[in-house]
Chains A and B, each alone.
Chain A
């Protein structure tokens, strides 16, 4: 059997076993990891692959989350997958609407514009209490089961069921983004990051490509938001549109490894682990995570994913120097 297939089978077996080995608390933790990893990878498409730093990615996450909350509250009986996909499409639509403005700017201007749009949505949702519930948010809707008529019906309030639902969607989403980076359009995306002018001169549609990327990235951020809404049975402006929601995946990318595809997943896991460990010391939690972030940026700029490679390089260098010393002696 080929090695990647063995790895994949092993990973799937571990994922399938988690809810049965660990209790509901840790199963819920894995659901959060799935949501945050999906969200971080969607931002990573912009940051690592297109070279665009967004401070407003919570916009798409929030639209997805509010979309799911509103659909499930007002459209009784809608299948859960339809609700989630419609919410993700709403986020993609927001990406499409904003793209005429966003595609024309780069660097700091792009970052500031995304920040502005993110904050605009935050304020709008805070003020339209009648629709969004404002600071209180929307909660308490009846989540329909994940069902195929005549085959199965899974109650998503059960930790095991929501786990498979969230992890399944996250895996599919991440896989779709992985394949996207391997397509010709994915190559154009990387080229835009490296030299946008040259790509333009070569005749590629930079503006159109960027617009597609915004929609694609927005779709998966919205999907993460929709799963968040289903999992928490609660959506509030502070929880899904706050500026810190935009910074969370950014932190995951930087801690996990910028410029890599899987770094953000690792980063999300590490941040979640850190949050769990520091939970016992809530007064110190923010300080501890701040110090760790500074240490990673200073001493491990490639992120945690580069740790193995750096260790191997250090080990090789050490062995080489020892050999050199021995041969000199």
Chain B
């Protein structure tokens, strides 16, 4: 009997110890499932992305590949705000255990300038000079393709949180060093089509950026409509250059087409400029998109201009407690350029970027190493609970995430912003409807 009692006590003590140990890392064992634990987020008082300083000593280095200058510098700021948040949170908790010791997280900028050649140079610098452990980026599937190729060359782990193209992880482009956390163009098309199946709009005008992502997204949306809304019509389709300044010619065609809804995959600054110029031209058509959460752009068109926008995302954080509360409280003291409403709450883009980093660092800690090969083994097929408690699975054969997706229609007033319309009710589209099928040409997926 005493032996049995002792065994039970030792069992309880070991479980508690294990729980405490895991709980100090980026994620903790909440029940049986691995995943993000909001209650473990550190006290972030005094944190400011503009004043982030890298820790010294033996650290895990993350190279942040984003446009920090040029037309899309605002995207670089979003990456930096999110990256520094996650790094500061983990560092305040003592870092992650790799190679048998606690290591803090350092971030090093790699400025892509939104251009292919600069992206390649930035990756080379991060890999050869800064010797980073992880490459993290970036906006623009054409740039991500370059990072993937370089990551494969230098055998560096690469986390893609910003490029959605379906083809990035298919065929010859696939590399085991890259993990695509962000959802894909197929999922976007299927998500919005499934959503529109329950609504009145039937005439759509597609207006996308003229590169691989824009074209793939247009095809995905059309395929989704064909499947879920067979009576829908595409009344027009245009592709504009990246970082376009003048949308008037496109909007004039939209007006003449009789469209009931504009569908766009544009990301900032294009998404905001498109919205602003359409309202200035008196075109108050609703817009459906996936990067409409640029709050500064929404405020520029006001509650009337932003009402009725349809916003789809892989992550919609519709609560104000937990990590959201800590982010919001910290934001109140942030300096420029992070003191704008864009950063007031942890949004869809910032949230998804943060989620991807938390997951990566958790996988790294479980691998017990920053070595790419070891992290790959842990992350492939990993099941994890995301920021809003949703189930995420890193599909082993093509390194893409299987997850539910979300759609909302912006309304005013709302609980988030008084100067613009924003999300209220959320429609969840289950993963089974939106998940990209496994690539047929991959021997890994057979």
Name A residues whose Cβ lies closer than 8 Å to a Cβ of B.
23-25, 28, 32, 126, 129, 134-137, 139-140, 232-234, 236, 238-239, 279, 282-283, 285-286
Contacts and interface: CB of A to CB of B under 8 A. Distances in A.
B172 interface: yes
B69 A25 contact: no
Contacts of A282: 68-69, 76, 109, 111, 113
A232 B124 CA distance: 11
B128 interface: yes
A283 B69 contact: yes
B146 A25 contact: no
B212 A238 contact: no
A233 B145 CA distance: 12
A28 B209 CA distance: 32
B367 interface: no
| Closest A-B pairs by Cβ, 3 of them | A135-B211, A282-B111, A282-B68
A135 B125 contact: no
Contacts of B69: 282-283, 285-286
B339 to A, nearest CB: 16
Contact of B142 (A135, A233, A279): A135
Contact of A135 (B76, B128, B129, B241): B241
A136 B163 CA distance: 13
18 contacts: A23-B128, A24-B128, A126-B241, A135-B211, A136-B211, A137-B116, A137-B142, A139-B116, A139-B146, A232-B116, A232-B117, A232-B120, A234-B116, A236-B117, A238-B115, A279-B111, A282-B69, A283-B73
Given A135-B209, A285-B69, 6 more contacts: A129-B210, A136-B211, A139-B116, A140-B149, A140-B173, A232-B117
Contacts of B149: 139-140, 233
Given A25-B125, A283-B68, A134 B120 contact: no
Interface centre among A135, A139, A233, A238 (most CB of B within 10 A): A135
A25 B124 contact: yes
Contact of A140 (B172, B215, B242): B172
Interface centre among B70, B128, B211 (most CB of A within 10 A): B211
B142 A239 contact: no
Nearest to A137: B116
B272 to A, nearest CB: 20
B245 to A, nearest CB: 14
A177 to B, nearest CB: 24
A239 B125 contact: no
A137 B128 CA distance: 25
Contacts of B115: 238-239
A234 B125 contact: no
Contacts of A137: 116, 142
Interface in B173-222: 173, 209-212, 215
B311 to A, nearest CB: 25
Nearest to A280: B109
A32 B125 CA distance: 14
Contacts of A234: 116-117, 120, 146
B338 to A, nearest CB: 13
Contacts of A232: 116-117, 120
Contacts of A134: 210-211
A233 B146 CA distance: 9
A184 B241 CA distance: 47
Nearest to B68: A282
Interface centre among B69, B117, B173 (most CB of A within 10 A): B117
Contacts of A23: 128-129
Interface centre among A129, A139, A238 (most CB of B within 10 A): A238
A279 B123 CA distance: 13
Nearest to A287: B69
B145 A139 contact: yes
A28 B127 CA distance: 13
Contacts of B111: 279, 282, 285
Nearest to B122: A279
Contacts of B215: 129
A232 B116 CA distance: 9
Contacts of B121: 28, 32
Interface in B134-170: 141-142, 145-146, 149
A184 to B, nearest CB: 39
A2 B386 CA distance: 73
Contacts of B210: 126, 129, 134-135
A32 to B, nearest CB: 8
Given A25-B129, A135-B242, A283-B68, A236 B109 contact: no
A129 B216 CA distance: 13
A25 B121 CA distance: 9
Nearest to B113: A282
A28 B124 contact: yes
B106 to A, nearest CB: 14
A134 B213 CA distance: 12
Contacts of B116: 137, 139, 232, 234, 236, 238-239
Contacts of B146: 139, 234
Contacts of A129: 210, 215
A25 B117 CA distance: 14
B142 A25 contact: no
